[in-house]
Every structure is written in C-alpha cells, then in structure tokens.
Amino acid sequence: MSEFSSQLPVVAPRPRYKWELLALLFCAFFFHQGDRAIYGVVLSAIKGDLGLSDSQLGLVATVLFATLAVMMPVAGYLGDLWDRKRIIIGSLLFWSVATMCTGLTGGLAGLIIFRSVATAGGESFYAPAAYPLLAAHHVRTRARALAIHQSSLYIGVMVSGFLGGYIADHWGWRSAFYVFGLGGIGLGLVLMWRMLAAPPPAAQLAAGLRIPIWEALGAVFRSPTALLLTAGFTAIVFVNNAYVVWAPVFLQERFQLTLAQAGGYAMFYHHVAALVGILCGGWLSDRLALLRPVFRLQLMASAMLLGAPVIFLLGRAAGLVLACSLMAGFGLFRGLYEANTHAALFQVITPRYRASAVGIMTMLAFLVGSLSPLLFGHLRETCPAGQGLGLGFNALAGAYLLGGLALVTAILFTFRRDYCPEAAAPAEAGGH
C-alpha cells in the first residue's frame, strides 16, 4: 500500500532513544504481567481467607479477561489518535493503584471490582499504544525489539511466581499486591521523566486528520490473514489464561507443594523456556523474514502444532520432574510463537491502523480466552478429586491444534495477497 512508502521510522532527538524506550517499556510490561500473575500464585491463600469456591475464583479471572476484551477496541482507537506516552503512563499508574487496592478486598465483590474490572481497565490501554510505538522506532530490528519486550512478560511472571508466593507464605497474600502495586507507581514516575512525547500516526500523516472509528476498527476484518492470525492468537490466549491462573494449583494438589514451591515451579520452568524461545524466535525471524516474509507465520504455525502434544502430556504427568520438563517444552513453543505475534500482524496492517488492529485482535482473543479460567474452576469442582485440572490441560491441546491449522490456512491461501511490504530507512532513528 502507498501509505507504507511515507511511513519512515520515527526520528528521536536523543541518541539511541529507541533502545532506551525499549528498556522503559520492558519494565512497564514486567509489572503489567507480574501484577496479573500474582492472583494465580496466591489463589489457594485467597480461597482459604475469603471462603470462596473454585468457580468463584475462576470467575474473578474470567471477568478480568472479559473486561480487557471489551476495553481493547476503545484503547486501540484512542492509541491511533492520542499521545501514546500519556496513554502508557496513565495505564501503568491506574492498574498499579488497582493492584494495591486488591490487597484491601474482603470478598468476591471487591476482587471483581479491583482485580478484574479496575486492573483490566488500566491494563487494556497499554498494549495498543506500546506495540505500535516500539514498531515505529524499530523497523529492521522489529521482531527482536518486540521479542525482548515480550520477554518481560515471562520474567514478570517468573518473579511473581517466586516472590509472590514467598511474600504470601510469610506476610499474607495481601502484601504481595501491595509490593507490586507500589513498584508500578514508582516506575510510572520514571517514565514521566524519561519518555518522549509520542504523537499518533494520524498527526504525522496530516495535521488535524481524524480516522473514522469504523475505518480504524475494521482494519483486521478487511484482511483475511489478520483474522487467521487472530484465530491463532485466540488459541494462545485461551491456553495462557488457564495456565497462569490454575497451573500453580495443579502442581500444588498433584505433588503436595507449598504456595512458594507451586507458584515458583509453575512460573519459572515454563517462562524461562519461553524467554529462550522468544529471543531466539525474534532474532531468527528478523533475519529470515527479510528474504521470506511468510517465515514468521511458518514459525508460528510450527510452534503451535508441535506444542499441542506437549500440553496434552502435561495434564497426564505423574512426576514433578516430568511435569516441569513438559512445562518448559510448552514454554519454548509458546515463546517461538509470541516472538512474532505483533510483527506478523504488522505485515498485513498499515501503520495508520496498527493500534486499532492490536485492540481488535486482543479483544476477540480475550473474549474467548476469558472463559478458560472459569471452565477450569468448573472442571475442578465437578470431576473426581485431583483429576479436573489434568483433564483441562488435555483439552487445551486441542486449542493449540486449531490455532496451528488457522495459520497453515493463512500461509497457503491468504498471506501473499494481504502482505504489505514496508520500506526501512537506511538508518533508523535513535541508534542502530
């Protein structure tokens, strides 16, 4: 499309600013995911303290993900119109305050208000602004930059697994929310100081230009490849949401572990392997996609199809060592996929609509993905003791299989038509 020829990398006045921006957003995403993962780590403690059922605990997570889904189109559209620096900082401060307030709740209603609605309301504005902002500063290094940013998800979840469980074991589950919430507020102050203003693409194209909302939000639906990528991302989100909420409980009940042990094992082995996968996948796809643009989708499809049997076997693991090994294998394939989640989407969406496209893709994925924590809670209540969560992981393998087949369809039938080549400038702004 012609728009791509006019979309040169953003010029930053500070040398190597694009890497400083990546570091700042890396830290922000650390708290974005760490705050979210704490809930699964301290789930058993919350259940005992507040006297909630498994279905109610699953409902809290489901409402969180559903709220994210509903808010994403609004966040995406505004991300294409407003200063993305203000959106990112405001989002960080809002969800951090909501995380602190979660520690003050005394029942199901409070958890839904602060953990689900308020936290998700703040978090929903981050991704649609952050991903296109990074993409604008990184053209030739896009997948690597987005992969490094995504790796913060894994580090945040790993740290929350050990640290959240340790804090809960020693000072109670409420203290874990206080610590992570305060950390996010402190980081927000740093971002106010160091981030540069980030005008939206519309302002760069023409002064005063406003994108019609139906045009922006319809970008994904005009691209069959974007829809198939959304189907793959939906499968990833469906599985990830169930894992981050229920995997610590799965290990705790199957292998009689403490909160710190169960949370640490569930988050560490899976996410350290995912970290390796995403960094390798980002580096590899940036090199090979220059010569073969469809390589990003081929890597993603392979990761999902190979990951499906690993997830199935995880639900049947009878030993802790085997379970940790399978969680690591699952994490590796997840990382290879997620190295290209947004880089692949941006191959078929013009820069003008990227925040809106991220919002719509995330909304659709989280609407479906919000159901998995609730379904796992229902399985744990209705199946024989100790079997429900294992059966749930068996079923998650089917989601990976369907997602992989959607990407194979895009590779074979739609990508060549939808692909939008984007010219990189000889030297990107902010350093190489």
Question: Mind listing the pLDDT tens digit for each residue in 214-270?
Answer: 777 788 999 999 999 999 999 999 999 899 889 988 999 899 888 778 877 988 899
Please name the residues in contact with 381: beta carbons below 8 A apart, sequence gap of 6 or more.
53, 54, 55, 388
Q: What is the per-residue pLDDT for 398? A: 97
Q: What is the per-residue pLDDT for 290? A: 84
Domain count, the chain: 1
Q: Which stretch, 120-124, 234-238, 383-387, has highest mean pLDDT?
A: 234-238
Which residue from 338, 317, 289 is spatially nearest to 29, judged by alpha carbons?
338
SS3 339: coil
- More confident position, 147 or 334: 334
pLDDT for 3 beyond 50? no
pLDDT for 307 beyond 90? yes
- More confident position, 199 or 392: 392
Average per-residue pLDDT for the chain: 86
Q: Is residue 209 part of a domain?
A: no
Q: What is the per-residue pLDDT for 4? A: 35
Q: Is residue 24 part of a domain?
A: yes
Q: How far is CA 55 from CA 41, 64, 77, 373, in A?
A: 17, 14, 34, 9
Rg (CA), the chain: 21
Q: What is the per-residue pLDDT for 211? A: 66
Mean pLDDT of all residues in 285-307 = 94
Which residue from 268, 265, 339 is spatially nearest to 303, judged by alpha carbons?
339
pLDDT for 2 beyond 70? no
Q: What is the per-residue pLDDT for 15? A: 67
d(CA 432, CA 427): 7
Mean pLDDT of all residues in 41-69 = 87
Q: What is the per-residue pLDDT for 136? A: 81
- Please report, for the domain that includes residue 270, its CATH number: 1.20.1250.20
Q: Which stretch, 7-16, 130-139, 158-167, 346-355, has highest mean pLDDT?
A: 346-355
- More confident position, 183 or 424: 183
Q: Is residue 368 part of a domain?
A: yes
SS3 content of the chain, % helix, strand, coil (to 5): 80, 0, 20
Count Cβ neighbours within 10 Å for each residue of 162-180 and write b for 16 or more, e otherwise: bbbbbbbbeeebbebbbbb
pLDDT for 432 beyond 80? no
Q: What is the per-residue pLDDT for 16? A: 82
In whole angstroms, what separates CA 334 from the centre of its chain? 11
Q: Identify the helix (H) or strand (E) that includes residue 11.
A: none
Token code pair at residue 413: 């039938």
Q: Is residue 6 part of a domain?
A: no
Angle between helices 354-369 and 126-137 in degrees, nearest 10:
140
Q: What is the per-residue pLDDT for 293? A: 93
Is residue 42 within 8 A of residue 172, CB to CB? The reply is no
For 280-295, what is each residue's pLDDT tens digit? 998 898 889 888 999 9
Q: What is the per-residue pLDDT for 33? A: 82
SS3 340: coil
pLDDT range class, residue 204, cuts 50, 70, 90: very low
Is residue 9 within 8 A of residue 139, CB to CB? The reply is yes
- More confident position, 101 or 5: 101
Mean pLDDT of all residues in 333-342 = 93
Q: Is residue 212 part of a domain?
A: no
Q: What is the per-residue pLDDT for 431? A: 45
Mean pLDDT of all residues in 6-26 = 72
Q: What is the per-residue pLDDT for 54? A: 87
Token code pair at residue 263: 């949370």
Mean pLDDT of all residues in 400-418 = 97
Angle between helices 295-314 and 320-338 in degrees, nearest 10:
160
d(CA 358, CA 261): 35
DSSP 396-420: HHHHHHHHHHHHHHIIIIIHHHH--
Token code pair at residue 298: 């081929």
pLDDT range class, residue 351, cuts 50, 70, 90: confident
Q: Is residue 432 part of a domain?
A: no
pLDDT range class, residue 203, cuts 50, 70, 90: very low
Angle at 338 between CA 332 and CA 339, to 5 degrees: 90
Is residue 81 within 8 A of residue 200, CB to CB? The reply is yes
Encoded amino acid at 317, one letter: A
DSSP 228-295: HHHHHHHHHHHHHHHHHHHHHHHHHHHHT--HHHHHHHHHHHHHHHHHHHHHHHHHHHHHHTTT-TTH
pLDDT for 326 beyond 90? yes
Percentage of the chain modeled with pLDDT above 70: 91
d(CA 148, CA 131): 12
Mean pLDDT of all residues in 147-167 = 82
Q: Is residue 430 part of a domain?
A: no
Which residue from 36, 27, 23 is spatially nearest to 184, judged by alpha carbons?
27
d(CA 294, CA 412): 10
Q: Is residue 183 part of a domain?
A: yes
Is residue 429 within 8 A of residue 137, CB to CB? The reply is yes
Range of the domain at 279: 16-201+219-418
pLDDT range class, residue 6, cuts 50, 70, 90: very low
- More confident position, 204 or 322: 322
Token code pair at residue 183: 């950390």
> pTM, whole model, 2 decimals?
0.77
* Phi-psi label, residue 419: left if phi above 0, alpha if psi -120 to 50, beta otherwise: beta
Q: What is the per-residue pLDDT for 170? A: 87
* Phi-psi label, residue 430: left if phi above 0, alpha if psi -120 to 50, beta otherwise: left
